[in-house]
Amino acid sequence: MNPFHYSKPVDVSQAISLAGAASRFIAGGTNLLDLMKENVARPEHLIDITGLPLKDVRETANGGLMIGALVSNADLAWHPLVEARYPLLSQAILAGASPQLRNMASTGGNLLQRTRCYYFYDAAVPCNKREPGSGCPAKDGLNRIHAILGASDNCVATHPSDMCVALAALDAVVHVEGRGGKRTIEFADFHRLPEDAPQRDNQLADDELITAIELPPQGFVEHSHYLKIRDRASYAFALVSVAAALELDGDIIRDVRLALGGVAHKPWRDKAVEQTLKGQPVSRENFVAAAEAMLRDARPLEHNAFKIKLAQRAIVRALSDAATGGKA
């Protein structure tokens, strides 16, 4: 690990004034410290944000929720308003990591956790995400856990978060603040596809701090389900995950959200596919058709073609479980 400066600001403007290309904010530290120990992240300055007043969950005027960036994953999953109004989010968070990690991990940090690509974590091999222009050994290497959608020649890594898949489905909004002021970013636009700049995971500037995540009022309380498929029953990242949410009128689908994890560099939504389900009855045939459409552009690598069928079946199951409200 390289030497670094350490600061602990007491308010947001102080934290932002210290931020820059060579610095990193640190919250729970559950990802950043691992990256520093592996020599993958080498910040010159750590800005400890755990003293900032960003730990509240409060209701918004329109009936949604504003979640402070430093609310822990555990506190968020078990928060009574989240459990009651956004069960999809609680389920997704509790499907991730372990209780100890969820106690430490923050909401903002979860969005910015980095890929679990083996080559990214191994500083002895090339990686375009770590060293732009150096190459991507995953493309022709061990790529069982890698992307089947939206990848580029430069990078086939996936985004590993469970929470973010639910936030994508729920149309969350990310609130950020930097030296240029405050702005909001729609969740669908927050994370990037790798294209020709895989070193950039998201749209944040170096001096920008995530201050909160806003959830709109629609929480799909009656009909939602998060399904995570992984190699072990716990403490493993998703091979494929699905956040499915339905608003039903009898058996007619009035609204639907479908987001996939483990398949791309960002949580994967396809609004055109969602549109095809609207106004249709709940049926296995309609869910199968949506699942096939959702994966129509999938491009497997040597070792991950199994993810296509796995994702399609997971979509059908997650939608079916959402439709029955878990009472199949």
Ligand X SMILES: Cc1cc2nc3c(=O)[nH]c(=O)nc-3n(C[C@H](O)[C@H](O)[C@H](O)COP(=O)(O)OP(=O)(O)OC[C@H]3O[C@@H](n4cnc5c(N)ncnc54)[C@H](O)[C@@H]3O)c2cc1C
Among 9, 87, 108, 150, binds ligand X (CB under 6 A): 108
Q: Which is nearer to ligand X, 140 or 189 (CB)?
A: 189
Choosing from 9, 16, 26, 274, the residue that interacts with ligand X (CB under 6 A) is: 26
Which residue stretch of 58-66, 103-111, 119-127, 193-201 sits at the interface with ligand X (rule: CB under 6 A)?
A: 103-111
Residues 179-238 that bind ligand X (CB under 6 A): 209-210, 237
**Count of residues of this chain found to bind ligand X when the rule CB under 6 A is applied:** 31
Q: Which is nearer to ligand X, 30 or 158 (CB)?
A: 30
Which residue's beta carbon is nearest to the bound ligand X? 109
Least CB distance from residue 69 to ligand X, whole Å?
A: 4
Site string for ligand X, 144-173 (x = CB under 6 A): ----------------xxxx----------
Cα 18 to Cα 29: distance, rounded to the nearest angstrom: 18
d(CA 316, CA 248) in angstroms, rounded, equals 16
Q: How far is the CB of 241 from ligand X (least distance, A)?
A: 9
Region binding ligand X by CB under 6 A among candidate stretches 18-26, 144-152, 281-289, 310-318: 18-26
Among 90, 91, 106, 224, which residue sits at the site for ligand X (rule: CB under 6 A)?
Answer: 106
Hey, which residues between 27 and 86 contact ligand X (CB under 6 A)?
27-32, 34, 49, 69, 73
Residues near ligand X, by CB under 6 A: 24-32, 34, 49, 69, 73, 96-97, 101, 104-106, 108-110, 112-113, 160-163, 209-210, 237
